[in-house]
Amino acid sequence: MSERPDALLAVLLVTAAAAGATLAGAVAEIGGHGVLGLTEVGIGLLTACFLFAFEVRHLPPALVLTSVLALGSAIAVVRALLRIWREQRLLDRLSREAFASVPTSTGAVPVDVVQSRTANAFCVGIVRPRVIVTRGLLARLDEEELRAALMHEVEHARARGPLKVALAHVAARALFWLPALRDLLDRFILLSELAADRAAIKVTSRSALAGALSEVIEAPHPLAAVALADLAAPRIDRLFDESAELPPLFRRSSLLAGIAAIGTVAFVLVCSPHLGLGESTQLHAMTVNLLAHRLHARLIGFGETAAAGAICVAVWRKFATR
């Protein structure tokens, strides 16, 4: 596999586009009436979960599977975009102090300092890339190490790293049911970091960059940003041994899941989840039964379902924060 990050990004985006187009084609096969009917039944699901699950067994499996995957992908895209938007707003609201401006072949890159004890540096800004350095990092690095860290992040800004990483994240999260995309995302980030490392050591030294990386290992970072801490351990290995092996591209679980996903896509295409007159009539009947009859009982059922869901979320948060 090539170690060119842009080539790997192209593979990731093309794979995601192909899988998304396949899913969109399957949704198109359902037809407008089928999508509308399933939307109505989905509303019924909120008020009659168990009755819906019982009734849905009468529908073609390919139809149900395609609809679930399409809905899940749409929700994942919206969640990823909302998270990126919130992170960008948060970064824009941070109190920053102008630190420097580094000229590059694509224009000057501004460098700002934020008041944080965490040692890290980021390249942020999907439209206008800039570098952010924390006070904690400035306190830990000497002059040469700081220069190496800045040159690393400036290279990300020159290559428009935040935009590329955001696109890759959205693609991988949208098609969460294709875990091989997550592996491609991790490898793309690693190759991007290695390329920025090479640019940094051209103007500083390997030991200076390694010293900077040792201060930021495992530091957190936003979704739509390229951080100095990303995958620091294998990068340090490469600094001292250019022939060091990279981690495996794909995990075994991802390969197995990929085979399962390919089989599922083949199943959906062969089964052709187009709704006939009988299925459309049944969907309409299900909607009427779920929404029109015994409305009072449905509202009670909705309340019970919401209460049970709230309890599950509260329990999960309690154990997740331990």
Q: What is the pLDDT of residues 247-293, one digit of tens each?
A: 778 888 887 887 787 777 667 666 655 555 555 565 556 555 555 54
Mean local confidence (pLDDT), 194-215: 88
The answer to whether position 241 is within a domain reads yes
The answer to whether position 188 is within a domain reads yes
The answer to whether position 289 is within a domain reads no
Calpha distance 62→71 (Å, rounded): 14
The answer to whether position 216 is within a domain reads yes
Q: Identify which of 264, 317, 299 has the alpha carbon closest to the alpha carbon of residue 46.
A: 299
Tokens 């609201």, residue? 93
Q: Which of 104-118, 174-188, 266-280 holds the top average pLDDT?
A: 174-188
Average model confidence (pLDDT) across the chain = 75
Q: Which pLDDT value is given to residue 30?
A: 60
Q: Are 155 and 200 in contact (CB under 8 A)?
A: yes
| Structural domains of the chain, count | 1
Higher-scoring residue by pLDDT: 76, 36: 76
The answer to whether position 259 is within a domain reads yes
The answer to whether position 69 is within a domain reads yes
The answer to whether position 219 is within a domain reads yes
**Region of poorest pLDDT, from 8-12, 89-93, 189-193, 290-294:** 290-294
Within 13 Å of residue 161, how many CA atoms lie on the same side as its CB? 30
Q: Identify which of 230, 247, 88 has the alpha carbon closest to the alpha carbon of residue 166.
A: 88
Task: Provide the pairing of β-strand 226-227 with 130-134.
Answer: unpaired
Q: Identify which of 77, 75, 65, 59 has the alpha carbon closest to the alpha carbon of residue 23.
A: 65
Range of the structural domain that residue 90 is part of: 5-30+61-266
Write the Ramachandran bin of 261: left for phi over 0, alpha for psi from -120 to 50, otherwise beta. alpha
Mean local confidence (pLDDT), 34-57: 55
Mean local confidence (pLDDT), 105-129: 85
For residue 29, the one-letter residue type is E
Q: Are 232 and 217 in contact (CB under 8 A)?
A: yes
**Would you say residue 322 has pLDDT above 50?**
no
Distance of CA 255 to the CA centre of its chain: 19
Q: Which pLDDT value is given to residue 44?
A: 54
The answer to whether position 252 is within a domain reads yes
Write the Ramachandran bin of 134: left for phi over 0, alpha for psi from -120 to 50, otherwise beta. beta
pLDDT category of residue 64 using cuts at 50, 70 and 90: low
Q: Which pLDDT value is given to residue 151?
A: 92
pLDDT category of residue 25 using cuts at 50, 70 and 90: confident
Token representation of residue 218:
């495992």
Mean local confidence (pLDDT), 4-24: 81
Mean local confidence (pLDDT), 205-230: 76
